[in-house]
């Protein structure tokens, strides 16, 4: 799998010279395996990705973790949705009540957006997901609900014996009764267990987290403990706060590394990063 980061900021796009290194676009990751194109979340980063894909792409699968605005705000600006020659599939969490299509229509309607979903030249095909396994092209996928406000999925993608885990919004501390001591009963464990590369929410410092408990995000410290529990090979800290500058992100990285030797690679995710798995 080839993996490329088009946005790793949380909550709100944060462009500006002080965020040059880590980027300002919200969640969007492109995963390519042969002819299969999967996009994880449709944050503001998906706009540039849409231009990059160009006219040759015929089919795209967008897997939404949840419908918070920072993960969907780029959808209306994703050029392939206006191209009748491209088939777009939208996958996202089921609520068991209101269909995903109806929930997506709320964004694609005035006063939020001028174009209605029904007016797009090629109607996207909508698929609802719960805790389940399925495949797209040569990629095996596991989706599972996670601890975050509103129905929210994490995704585990496996191809050629390599695994990528994507958990951008997750309050792992509240997703376990005894964190970090009970792996099987911890939210997200099956998604991340043994992953070669884990993208995980690390929005806050430990000090900030104290005042933000219950908001749905994790401290970097908890992301490290979770990655350690899941025995991942590499942890990429994701969902940087919009107010965080490059300098602050780097200082948080130094603090994280000082936490101790966890036996896996740690990085702060940056827009533009490319990985080969």
Helix (H, G, I), strand (E, B) or coil at 258: helix
Q: Of 236, 229, 220, 217, which is closest to residue 262 (Cα–Cα)?
A: 229
Residue nearest to Zn ion (CB): 68
Q: Where are the beta strands (DSSP E) in the chain?
A: 2-7, 28-33, 36-40, 59-63, 87-93, 125-129, 132-136, 139-145, 153-159, 162-167, 197-201, 234-238, 265-268, 274-276
CA atoms of 11 and 42, how far apart (whole Å): 13
Smallest gap from residue 78 Cβ to Zn ion (A) = 18
Contacts of 3 (CB under 8 A, 6+ apart): 29, 30, 31, 32, 164, 197, 274, 275, 276, 277
**Could you give the angle at which helices 220-229 and 246-258 cross, rounded to 10 degrees?**
50
Q: Which is nearer to Zn ion, 33 or 201 (CB)?
A: 201
Q: Which is nearer to Zn ion, 33 or 169 (CB)?
A: 169
Smallest gap from residue 27 Cβ to Zn ion (A) = 6
Smallest gap from residue 220 Cβ to Zn ion (A) = 16
Q: Which is nearer to Zn ion, 26 or 176 (CB)?
A: 26
Q: Which is nearer to Zn ion, 142 or 203 (CB)?
A: 203
Residues that bind Zn ion (CB under 5 A): 10, 68, 70, 169
Scored b (16 or more CB within 10 A) or e, 128-147 reads bbeeeeeebeebebbbbbbb
Smallest gap from residue 239 Cβ to Zn ion (A) = 6
Q: Which is nearer to Zn ion, 73 or 81 (CB)?
A: 73
Q: Which is nearer to Zn ion, 53 or 68 (CB)?
A: 68
Smallest gap from residue 216 Cβ to Zn ion (A) = 6
CA atoms of 133 and 118, how far apart (whole Å): 29
Looking at residue 9, what DSSP letter applies?
Answer: B
Q: Which is nearer to Zn ion, 68 or 103 (CB)?
A: 68
Smallest gap from residue 149 Cβ to Zn ion (A) = 7
């Amino acid at each position: 799998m080839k993996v490329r980061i088009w946005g790793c900021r949380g909550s709100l796009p944060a462009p500006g010279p002080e965020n040059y290194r880590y980027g300002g676009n919200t969640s969007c990751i492109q995963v390519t395996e042969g002819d299969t194109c999967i996009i994880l979340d449709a944050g503001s980063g998906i706009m540039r990705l849409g231009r990059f894909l160009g006219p040759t792409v015929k089919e795209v699968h967008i897997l939404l973790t949840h419908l918070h605005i920072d993960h969907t705000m780029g959808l209306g600006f994703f050029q392939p949705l206006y191209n009748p020659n491209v088939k777009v599939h939208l996958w996202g969490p089921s609520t068991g009540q209101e269909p995903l299509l109806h929930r997506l229509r709320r964004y694609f309607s005035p006063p939020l957006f001028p174009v209605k979903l029904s007016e797009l030249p090629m109607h996207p095909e909508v698929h609802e997901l719960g805790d389940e396994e399925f495949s797209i092209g040569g990629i095996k996928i596991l989706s599972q609900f996670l601890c975050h406000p509103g129905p929210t999925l994490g995704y585990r993608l496996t191809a050629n014996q390599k695994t990528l885990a994507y958990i951008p919004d997750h309050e792992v501390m509240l997703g376990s009764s005894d964190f970090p001591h009970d792996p099987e009963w911890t939210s997200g464990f099956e998604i991340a267990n043994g992953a070669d590369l884990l993208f995980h929410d690390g929005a806050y410092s430990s000090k900030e987290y104290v005042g933000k408990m219950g908001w749905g995000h994790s401290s970097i410290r908890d992301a490290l403990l979770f990655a350690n529990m899941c025995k991942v090979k590499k942890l990429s800290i994701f969902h940087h706060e919009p107010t965080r500058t490059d300098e602050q992100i780097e200082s948080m990285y130094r603090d994280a590394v000082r936490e101790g030797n966890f036996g896996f690679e740690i990085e702060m995710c940056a827009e533009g990063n490319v990985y080969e798995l």
